[in-house]
Structure 1
Amino acid sequence: MTSPDGTVLAYTREGEGPAVVLVGGGLDDGAENASLATALSRWFTVYNYARRGRGGSGDTQPYALEREVEDLATLIEAAGGTAHVHGVSSGGALALRAAAAGLPIDRLSVYEVPYAVGEAAAVGWREYVTQLDAALAMDDRDAALRLFMRLAGSGEDDITAAAGSPMWPGLLKIAHTLGYDAACLGDGTPPAAELARITQPTLVATGGVPDPHMSGLRPGYFDAAADAIAALVPNATRKVVAGQSHVADPATISVVLKDFFTG
C-alpha cells in the first residue's frame, strides 16, 4: 500500500477477526514480528508491516516523524478504519505518539518502550543521539550500529562478534533507520503532555527477565519506563509478563494480547 507522501509500505496480512496492526522496533524489517503475527492470526486479522526504510518498504525523503504516523494511519485505514495496535520497543514509542495524535486505535499495547527515566539515563540518551546524528550525517552505518549496540549495553567483544557475523550486512542496510527510531523517542524521556492525551485502553507491558544482550543497561530500565508511561496514560494497565525478555516469546505474548484486545 502507499502512504500519503507516496512511500510504498510492504506488509503481510494473516487471519480473520478484529484488526491488529504490529509496529516493529529498532532494526526490525518486520521479520521480528512475523511469528507473533501468525500466533495472533488465530483470533485476529493481523497486519505486520515493514516501517519505512526497512525491508520492502520505500524511504521517501526527507524523513519526519509525522510521516511515520501517517504510515500507521494508512495501515489502519486498510484494516477497515480502526484497529488494535501493538508496538514493540521504539515501535511502542511510535504507537504511543500515533494514539496521542488521534489515530483511530481501538486498544493499544506497548512492550518495553525504552524511554529514559532519570537524569543519568537522559544524559546517556542525548549523548547517543548526538553521536548517532554525526555518524549518519557521514553515512557511516557501521559506526551507527556500534553506537546502538553500546547504548543497549553490549560489550565490545559482543559488538566485534556481531560485526563479523552474516547478519551484519543486512543490519547495515537499515542502520540509517536508527535515526528514525531516535525521532520516535524524542529527547528520550516520556512525553508527558502527549501521553496524557491518550484515551484508549492501553496495556503497558515488560518482561520479567532481563535481556542478556542488554546487560549494560541499569537494572529495571524498561520497568521504570513502563511505570512512567502507565502513570501518565489515563486508561493504562501495567503488566509484567513472567519469563520474558526484550524479545518476547510469540506464543506467550499472543495470549496476553488476545486477553487484552478482547477484554
Structure 2
Amino acid sequence: MTHIDPHLPAIRTETISSIDGTPLGIRHLGSGSPIVLVHGSVSTGESWIPVASFLAADHSVFVLDRRGRGLSGDAHDYTVSTEAADIAAVVARASEETGAPPTLLGHSYGAICTLEAVRVGLDVAALVLYEPPLPVDGPVAGNYLAPYAAAVAASDYDAAMRIALEHFVRLSRAEIEMMVATPMWGEFLHLAPSWTRELAETDRSVTHLSEYGSLAVRSLLLVGEYSPAHLVGASAFLESKLPNATRQVLEGQGHSANVMTPSLIADAIHSFMVQ
C-alpha cells in the first residue's frame, strides 16, 4: 500500500442484531473491497481501529465489538457458536453494504471464533488468522481456569490477569510486569470477567481440530516472530491442515502487532487481499 492516509478516516457506527437478538456494534471505515475484523479476548474492536484506519484507504472495513463489550450487548447463553452466529451477521451486513463477500480476519480468541464460523458453513472471500490459541498441545487454560474464575468471582481482577498472562498467554514474570506498567492494564482488568467463558470455549475447541483440513478457503496465517511457542505451534498446526494456507512471519513482533505496528499488519492484509 503506497497511498495510505496516516490520519484517522471517518468512522461510522451502527448496530445490527444477531440471530438471538443480541445487539452488535460495528464501526465502518473506508470503501472498496470489504474486510471484517474480529478482535480477541480482553480487548474491544477499538484495538483494531489503527489497522482499520490504514486499510480504509483501499477497503471497506467493518470492525466488530464482540458480544459483552464496547458497542455490543450480551446474553446469558454463551458458546463459541453464538460468537460464530454474530460473525455471520456482520459478514452478511458487509456483503449487503458492498455487494461482495468480505475477507474475514480473527485475532487470538477471535480467530477461534472465525474458524468456527467458517467451519459451520460461513462463506467468505478469504480468511486471515492471527495466532488463534488452539489447544493443539493440550489445554490452554486447563487446571488454571478454576483459580482464574475464583479470582474474577472475588473481584480480584489484578490477580486473575496475572494468572492468565503467566499460564494462558505464557509470558515471563518480567513481561507481565511490563504489561502491568502500560496504560492497557486498566482495560485488561475491566474485561477480565469476559475471559472466563472464552477460556472454557478455547479448551473445548479441541473437538474440532481434526475438521479444519476440510476448510478450502484461501487463508493467511499471521505469526509474530517473538510470539509464545504455543501460539506459533497452533499456527503451524493450521498450516499443516488448511489446504490453501500461507504463513507470514511478522518480524520483530509478538501477539499484539495490531497495536504496536498497525501499518505492518495492514500491509500484510492488503497484500494478501489483492493477490
Structure 1 CA distance for aligned equivalents of residues 256 and 183 of structure 2 = 20
Deviates more, 1:69-78 or 1:241-250: 241-250
SS of 2:71's partner is: coil
SS of 1:259's partner is: helix
Q: TM-score, normalised by structure 1?
A: 0.84
**1:102-117 map, 5 Å:** 102-117=121-136
Deviates more, 1:173-182 or 1:105-114: 173-182
* CA drift at 1:112: 1.7
Pick from 10, 15, 21: which aligns with 1:6? 21
SS of 2:141's partner is: helix
**1:236-251 map, 5 Å:** 236-248=245-257, 249-251=261-263
Partner of 1:191: 208
What do the CA deviations read for 1:184-217 (whole angstroms, capped 9, x no partner)? 4234658323312312111112022x15xxxxx5
Distance verdict in 2 for CA 1:183–1:233, change over 3 Å? farther
Q: Which runs of 5+ in 1 are unaligned?
A: 212-216
SS of 1:257's partner is: helix
Distance verdict in 2 for CA 1:231–1:7, change over 3 Å? same
* CA drift at 1:27: 0.7
Structure 2 CA distance for aligned equivalents of residues 162 and 240 of structure 1 = 23
Structure 2 CA distance for aligned equivalents of residues 165 and 255 of structure 1 = 26
1:116, 1:190 within 8 Å by CA — same for their partners in 2? no
Percent identity between matched residues is 29
SS of 2:103's partner is: strand
What do the CA deviations read for 1:120-141 (whole angstroms, capped 9, x no partner)? xx25631233433444556654
Distance verdict in 2 for CA 1:190–1:261, change over 3 Å? farther
Q: 1:100 is aligned with what amino acid?
A: R
What do the CA deviations read for 1:10-62 (whole angstroms, capped 9, x no partner)? 22101111110001011111121010011111111000111111112111112
Partner of 1:204: 221
Q: 1:5 is aligned with what amino acid?
A: D
1:190, 1:225 within 8 Å by CA — same for their partners in 2? no
What do the CA deviations read for 1:86-114 (whole angstroms, capped 9, x no partner)? 11111111111111111121100101222
SS of 1:86's partner is: strand
Deviates more, 1:159-168 or 1:64-73: 159-168
Pick from 211, 222, 243: which aligns with 1:234? 243
Q: TM-score, normalised by structure 2?
A: 0.81
Distance verdict in 2 for CA 1:239–1:164, change over 3 Å? closer
Partner of 1:76: 91
Distance verdict in 2 for CA 1:65–1:139, change over 3 Å? farther
Partner of 1:28: 43
Partner of 1:49: 64
Structure 2 CA distance for aligned equivalents of residues 192 and 158 of structure 1 = 30
Distance verdict in 2 for CA 1:192–1:155, change over 3 Å? closer
Pick from 165, 171, 176: which aligns with 1:149? 165
Alignment of 1:257 onto 2:273: no
Q: Which runs of 5+ in 2 are unaligned?
A: 1-15
Q: 2:35 is aligned with what amino acid?
A: V
SS of 1:203's partner is: strand
Distance verdict in 2 for CA 1:158–1:227, change over 3 Å? closer
**1:57-76 map, 5 Å:** 57-76=72-91
Pick from 89, 109, 115: which aligns with 1:90? 109
2:140, 2:199 within 8 Å by CA — same for their partners in 1? no
Q: 2:247 is aligned with what amino acid?
A: R
1:50, 1:56 within 8 Å by CA — same for their partners in 2? yes
Structure 2 CA distance for aligned equivalents of residues 232 and 114 of structure 1 = 15
* CA drift at 1:162: 5.8
Structure 2 CA distance for aligned equivalents of residues 104 and 32 of structure 1 = 25
* CA drift at 1:165: 6.9
Structure 1 CA distance for aligned equivalents of residues 256 and 185 of structure 2 = 19
1:24, 1:91 within 8 Å by CA — same for their partners in 2? yes
SS of 2:42's partner is: coil
